Structure 1
Amino acid sequence: MKDTPLSNCERDFLLKAIEEKKRLDGRQTYDYRNIKITFGTDYGCCFVDLGKTRVMAQVSCELVAPKETRPNEGILFFNIELSPMASPAFEPGRQSELSVKLNRQLERCFRNSKCIDTESLCVVSGEKVWQIRVDVHTLNHDGNLMDAASIAAITALCHFRRPDVSIQGEEITVYTPEERDPIPLSIYHMPISVSFSFFQQGTYLLVDPCEREERVMDGYVNNTDNILY
C-alpha cells in the first residue's frame, strides 16, 4: 500500500476533534454509519454500503475432494480483493499486508463461530464435497473494511443457493436451476464484525472508524476475535 501522509495540521485537527468527542461526519462516539444492502441478479451476489465504504460479495461453489482430516465436511474459502479503484493506496496485482490481515480475520470470524453447517456440504464422504467460495471486492474505501466485508459475506451466503445433486452408484448428477430448485446453505447464526479504533493509548475509543480516523488511530480491536492491531 502507498498512503498519502496527512499533514501535521490535519492530524492535529482530527485528534483534537476526537478529544472533544466530535467526528468529521457529525456522528457520536458510538454511532455506526448507515448500512445499505442491495442484491445482484445472481444468487449470492450482494452489495454493502457502510457510509461511503462500498464492497461487493459474490459466493460460488464447486465439487472438490475434501480435506483428509475432515472427510465429511465441505470447505469454506474467503478471498478479499483490494482494488485500486477503491483507493489510490491499493496497488494493482499485489497482495498487501492489509488484504492478508482482512482475509485471515474474515476466515476466523466465520470458521471459529461455526455459523455454517459444513457437514451438510458433504456429497460423498471422503470423495466429494462442496467448496463454498466467498469473493469480496472493495469498490470504495472510506474506512472499516472488515465490518463491511463481514456484513457482505454473511448476507451473500444467506442469499446463495447451491445446485441440487443426486447420487446413483458412483455417478453424481448436478442439476441446473431449471431441472431442480437450488438449495440454500444451512446457516446457524450470523456473525457480524464490529470494529473499534482507539487513540492516545486507549484514552479515546470510536466505533466504525472512517478512513481518516483510521490514519490517526493507534490501533483497533474487533469483537470477533479480540485481537489488537
Structure 2
Amino acid sequence: MEQRLANIGRMTVNEKKFIETALLSDLRIDGRRPFDYRKLTIKFGRHDGSSEVQLGETHVMGYVTSQLVQPYRDRPNEGTLAIFTEFSPMADPSFEAGRPGESAIELGRVIDRGLRESRAVDMESLCVVAGKSVWAIRVDLHILDNGGNLIDAANIAALAALLTFRRPECTLGGENGQEVIVHDPEVREPLPLIVHHLPVAVTFAIFGEGNIMVIDPTYKEEAVMGGRMTATLNSNGDVCAVQKAGGEGIMSSVIMQCLRIASVKAADITSKIKNAVDAYNTERALRKVKRHPPSVALEVCVPDVIMEENQVDELSRHEVQNLKDEPERGCGNDGSRIGVETSTTRGKNNVFIGGPSSWDPYSKGISSCFISSQDLPGFILLRDIAAYPALWDDASQHLGAYHR
C-alpha cells in the first residue's frame, strides 16, 4: 500500500483521469488491448541456473544455487526449495535498501506458493541420504527495473532459472559407504532438476467496481488500480494458486472468466519459456564439445642421392672394407640408423631391399654398421647393381638370410 501511495503521488491528476477514462473504453495508455501482454524477452547467462527476463520495461534477474543440508524431520527424504527477493532502490525510488519490505515478502510468497504447493519440482529427487543429506535449492530474484507487474516477470525468471540449473552429481563412498562425495562438473556431468510442470503466474488489475479487468498492468496502471488478482496455472489449465490483493471485490463470474483467460496465457508463456530453454541447451551442448585440431602426418622428404659411378665405386669399396676389418665400428648406442635402398634407375625392374616398414637394424645376423648414419648419410641409388658383383657378394653375406 505504501508503494501504491508513493506511485500515485508521483502522477498528476490528469494522468490518473486519462487512464481511468481510457479503460472504460477498453483502451490502454500503451495501445494494448485489455488482455494483451507486453513484449517478453528471456535470456540466459553463461552459467547454468541464471536467467534474465524483460517484460516491457520490467527487468528481473533470477539465479539458482544449491547446497547440501540436513532435511526436515517430518520430510526426511525430500529436498527444500526457497525463494528470496531483492528490491533495489535503483529499480524504483520507492524501494528501500536493507531488509525486504512488504512488497518483496508478498512477491516471494506468491511465487513460492505457486511452485511448492503444486509440487512442480520433484523434491524426492533431491534426496542423497534419507534423514541425513538432501539438496536445498535457493532461487534469488533481483528486481533491476520496476515497470509494473513484478510478479509475472519474477515468476518467469524463476521458472527459466530452474529449468537451466544443474546440480553436481554426488555418490556415496568412504569406509562405511555413507560418506557423500560431490563430483566436480569436469569429472561428471551435472544433473538437471526434475520439473513436472511450469506454474505460470498471470496477474489481473481491477478497476472501477470490479467490472474492469486488464492483464499485465504497467507501472502507471498499478498506481491507480483498485485491486489485483494473480492466478497461477500450468499449460494443462490446472489452477496451482490464486491470490487476491487490494480493496475491490470481484464477482465469481469475473473470477471464472479470468481463470479461462489465464489458462490461455499460461500455455503461451510456457511455450516461450521452453523454446528459450531449448535454445540455451543447444548452445550449452555446443560449448561442451571439445574440438581437437586434425592430426597432420608429417611428410619427411629425403632427396635421392644420385652419385657418379666413380663415387659409388669408391664409397662401396670403403664400406666393404669396413665390414671386413672393423665389423663393430659405428655401432653406437644412440640408435640412429637408416634404411638402404638399392635399385636401378627410375625405370623398370626396381629392386627394393629393406625399407622403413620391414627393415630391422637390430635383427639377428645383420650388422647395423652397414647402415650407420655416420658413414652413409642418405639413400644410395645404384644405377646398375649388376655392374658391382663384388659389392653384392659381400653385402649378401650379411643380408642373405633376410634377402632370401
**2:66 aligned with 1:61:** yes
Equivalent AA in structure 1 for residue 101 of structure 2: S
Tell me what 1:212 maps to: 220
1:200 to 200, 208, 214: 208
Equivalent AA in structure 1 for residue 223 of structure 2: R
Tell me what 1:78 maps to: 83
C-alpha displacement of 1:189: 0.6
Tell me what 2:16 maps to: 11
Higher RCO, Cα 8 Å, sep 6+: 1
Equivalent AA in structure 1 for residue 126 of structure 2: L
Q: What is the CA–CA distance in structure 2 between the aligned matches of 1:20 and 1:176, rounded to whole Å?
A: 60
Secondary structure (helix, strand or coil) at the match of 1:76 reads strand
Secondary structure (helix, strand or coil) at the match of 1:138 reads strand
Query: Could you report, residue by residue, the CA deviation over 1:25-76 in whole angstroms, capped at 9, with x for unpaired residues?
Result: 1100100011100000110000000011010000000000001110000000
CA contact (8 A) 2:110 2:243 kept: no
1:22 to 27, 34, 37: 27
Q: What is the CA–CA distance in structure 1 between the aligned matches of 2:90 and 2:169, rounded to whole Å?
A: 37
Secondary structure (helix, strand or coil) at the match of 2:19 reads helix
Q: Give the aligned CA root-mean-square deviation in angstroms.
A: 1.0
Equivalent AA in structure 2 for residue 151 of structure 1: I
Q: What is the CA–CA distance in structure 2 between the aligned matches of 1:159 and 1:227, rounded to whole Å?
A: 28
2:187 to 179, 182, 198: 179
Query: Could you report, residue by residue, the CA deviation over 1:100-149 in whole angstroms, capped at 9, with x for unpaired residues?
Result: 11111111010011111100000000000000000000011000000001
Q: Could you list the runs of 5+ residues in structure 1 that have no partner in the other structure?
A: none
Stretch deviating more after TM superposition (169-178 or 55-64): 169-178
C-alpha displacement of 1:227: 2.0
Greater strand share, structure number: 1
Stretch deviating more after TM superposition (64-73 or 87-96): 87-96
Tell me what 1:113 maps to: 118
Higher-Rg structure is: 2
C-alpha displacement of 1:166: 0.6
Tell me what 2:242 maps to: 226
Q: Following superposition, which runs of at least 4 residues in structure 1 exceed 4 angstroms of deviation?
A: none
C-alpha displacement of 1:94: 3.2
Q: What is the CA–CA distance in structure 1 between the aligned matches of 2:96 and 2:161, rounded to whole Å?
A: 26
Q: What is the CA–CA distance in structure 2 between the aligned matches of 1:93 and 1:201, rounded to whole Å?
A: 37
Tell me what 2:155 maps to: 150
Normalising to structure 2: TM-score of the pair? 0.56
Q: What is the CA–CA distance in structure 2 between the aligned matches of 1:156 and 1:40, rounded to whole Å?
A: 10
Q: What is the CA–CA distance in structure 2 between the aligned matches of 1:227 and 1:55, rounded to whole Å?
A: 21
Secondary structure (helix, strand or coil) at the match of 2:213 reads strand
Q: What is the CA–CA distance in structure 2 between the aligned matches of 1:140 and 1:189, rounded to whole Å?
A: 28
Equivalent AA in structure 2 for residue 175 of structure 1: H
**2:41 aligned with 1:36:** yes
C-alpha displacement of 1:7: 2.4
CA contact (8 A) 2:71 2:78 kept: yes
Q: What is the CA–CA distance in structure 1 between the aligned matches of 2:95 and 2:46, rounded to whole Å?
A: 28
Q: What is the CA–CA distance in structure 2 between the aligned matches of 1:12 and 1:135, rounded to whole Å?
A: 38
C-alpha displacement of 1:20: 1.6
Stretch deviating more after TM superposition (2-11 or 51-60): 2-11
Tell me what 2:349 maps to: none
Q: What is the CA–CA distance in structure 2 between the aligned matches of 1:95 and 1:183, rounded to whole Å?
A: 32
Query: Could you report, residue by residue, the CA deviation over 1:154-177 in whole angstroms, capped at 9, with x for unpaired residues?
Result: 110000000000102121110111
Normalising to structure 1: TM-score of the pair? 0.97
